[in-house]
Structure 1
């Protein structure tokens, strides 16, 4: 990519950007998936031809799903959702009959150890926290609550 005039992202090393006379071509490469967008049809065609000449590659058209994110492209915006992933989590952890809350957790309550409580399955708890951390990509409203829960992954 660098040989073709792309600059590697400073923080995200899988992101590549090419600027030609103020027009951008952006490519996100993750293992064997590439998501790309360009400000001109010519740039996009050139990118596809470059990739096909170096790699065995097929294009699947408009992006609908990437790394667990559902992507809906509209004329003037892009909508990202993880509703399918969230529903899968609810089922995976057997919470279909649980009641939902509008606010994930109160921010003013101080958590303390329940000395008389029963220990939880550490593996299951870590699995839940990891799954929820991935969900925060599209649900920033749960980030605080998931972060608080993540602090209590280790039995003290």
Structure 2
């Protein structure tokens, strides 16, 4: 049996049904809780369980991120990075709000759980968390177009 706890959410999984039921019964006796049944959504990840296997995606979370950064109607791109683009801390473009940039990078870092194809680009952009400029922000927003 595997038990995952995040703040007040508990995820219990295992191969022995009787053991799971016994655990849930003992938890119900000790704590006020609700059994939501088979997991379909957990910590921003949608889980689809079927005969073919278990599949994880973050479509709903990605949609929320697009809304947060006013990019619901963006055009899709194939690559998260512009080929041959050079990002520099010494670029003379306009400085942007560090909090806004950090929020974007945090969202992208969480999205890479289901999208390993954005891992390299996101790590590149995270280098500019201190004193980000408009060029960095626009480059980081590109992954939301994927």
- Same structural fold, with TM-score higher than 0.5 when normalized by the shorter chain: yes
| Residues 31-70 of structure 1 mapped to structure 2, 5 A cutoff | 31-70=7-46
TM-score (norm 1): 0.76
How many residues align? The count is 132
What runs of 5+ residues in structure 2 fail to find an aligned partner? 133-146
What runs of 5+ residues in structure 1 fail to find an aligned partner? 1-24
| Residues 121-132 of structure 1 mapped to structure 2, 5 A cutoff | 121-132=97-108
Asked whether the 8 Å contact 2:47–2:54 carries over to 1, the reply is yes
> Of the two, which has the highest radius of gyration?
1
Choose between structure 1 and 2: higher strand proportion.
1
What is the aligned counterpart of 1:85 among 61, 84, 89? 61
Deviation at 1:109, TM superposition (A): 4.7
Q: Which residue of 1 aligns with 2:129?
A: 153
Deviation at 1:53, TM superposition (A): 2.1
Deviation at 1:28, TM superposition (A): 0.9
RCO comparison, higher one (Cα < 8 Å, 6+): 2
Deviation at 1:144, TM superposition (A): 0.8
> Any idea what the Cα deviations from partners look like across 1:57-81, whole Å, max 9, x if unmatched?
2211111111111111112411111
Q: Give the Cα separation in 1 of the matches to 2:67 and 2:84.
A: 30
Asked whether the 8 Å contact 2:89–2:128 carries over to 1, the reply is no
SS for the counterpart of 2:3 is strand
Q: Give every structure 1 segment of 4 or more consecutive aligned residues whose post-TM-superposition deviation is greater than 2 Å.
A: 96-100, 106-116
Distance 1:43 1:107, change over 3 A: farther
Deviation at 1:124, TM superposition (A): 1.0
Q: Give the Cα separation in 2 of the matches to 1:46 and 1:115.
A: 61
| Residues 11-26 of structure 1 mapped to structure 2, 5 A cutoff | 25-26=1-2
Distance 1:115 1:37, change over 3 A: closer
Q: Give the Cα separation in 1 of the matches to 2:105 and 2:36.
A: 33
TM-score (norm 2): 0.81
